[in-house]
Amino acid sequence: MPDVVSPGFWMYILGFLLLLGPLVTIHELGHYLVGRWFGVRANVFSIGFGKELAGWTDKRGTRWKLAALPLGGYVQFAGDMNPASQPDAEWLKLPAAERERCFQAKPLWQRALIVLAGPLANFVFAILILAAFLMAYGQIVASPTIGKVEAGSVAAAAGLREGDRIVAIDGSRVREFGDIAQLVAPHPGEPLAVELVRGGESVTLDIVSARKTERDEFGNEFVRGYLGIGPSAVEVLPVGPLEAVGVAVGQTRDMVSMMVTGIGQIITGKRSVEELGGPLKIAKFSGEQLSLGWRAFVAFAAFISINLGFINLLPIPVLDGGHLAFYAAEAIRRKPASARSQEWAFRTGIAFVVALMLFVTINDLTSLKVFGG
């Protein structure tokens, strides 16, 4: 595929701001709206961190602001010590009426829902985008029956034939041909158990997928697992609203599954840590997708929104998943963790997140050859 002209610096900046700003806003609105529903007062709603660039205070006393560092955001509820929602013991000294509006005064299940609402908002946003695309352009459907086997491919070498109907890969059910790529792509060069039906009989073949390196329009390289087969027929079917939402939920689930697989492969060494990306790579990819048009950019926004929701659910203190882990422990123990243990967990979480941000930023600088290679 021939390279296209890479977007300029300002396209990267614009793409990054148009991507991350709305996604962070949606995430924090999830927290804010559910908190407001339960009667919790929000002191600050911030897009970005650090010095305030612009803002206003509404009639409820919430300070809405845009801050200088556009790498996230937060809602600071009454009773929070800081933007990471560490509890502040001073809330107990407030008058009863004000104390009832503090986050810490709410029942455990309400606090958990307020925290969970942020990641869920990102998932819902992505599902709405995917559903809208399905309704507008239809769904590509193909039977998992093989219509073509590439000569010299791992599929041909393993004995796959035209007319074979693939029903499962490594125990995961295959409903249509697109499922095959979803299950094979995350496992380049790995053995896979392919279950199929041939002439009415069940057959299982052990196949080691090929490592296929692909380049997009901008020269970005991606390695994926590949068998070398094609479908027998492809249709584009119209999709109604309810069906579109159901399919979009399935697509979102599949993307999350691939993320879990990818993290597991990095931890076990099957994939290089160089594949981890930070803000610089997000800016690069967002600018590239924006240069391709609104459809490519919005589809990319849906993917990043799913990433944002998933990452925030990881059980790391200071992230939403860390708070939910503490609430789960509180539900089991019937009492909250001690202030000291929460403080140490918070410090550890901050250290981990800062170290990870430094690592992925250095990774970005190296992979993008910012200093010349």
- The residues annotated as belonging to the active site are 28
Check residue 229 and report its DSSP letter.
E
Report helix, strand or coil for 16: helix
Instruction: Tell me how far apart the alpha carbons of residues 114 and 119 are, in angstroms, rounded to a whole number.
Output: 10
Contacts of 1 (CB under 8 A, 6+ apart): 215, 216, 217
191: buried, middle or exposed (CB in 10 Å: 19+, 13-18, 0-12)? exposed
Contacts of 67 (CB under 8 A, 6+ apart): 46, 47, 48, 49, 50, 51, 52, 53, 73
Cα-Cα end-to-end distance for the chain: 24
Q: Decide: 310 and 256 in contact? Cβ < 8 Å.
A: yes
Instruction: Tell me how far apart the alpha carbons of residues 162 and 148 are, in angstroms, rounded to a whole number.
Output: 6
Instruction: Tell me how far apart the alpha carbons of residues 151 and 163 are, in angstroms, rounded to a whole number.
Output: 16
C-alpha closest to that of 119 among 34, 201, 206:
34
Distances 89 to 99, 104, 197 between C-alpha atoms, Å: 11, 9, 64
Instruction: Tell me how far apart the alpha carbons of residues 221 and 212 are, in angstroms, rounded to a whole number.
Output: 10
Q: What angle do CA 257, 119, 74 make, to 5 degrees?
A: 140
Instruction: Tell me how far apart the alpha carbons of residues 90 and 95 are, in angstroms, rounded to a whole number.
Output: 11
Instruction: Tell me how far apart the alpha carbons of residues 370 and 20 are, in angstroms, rounded to a whole number.
Output: 22
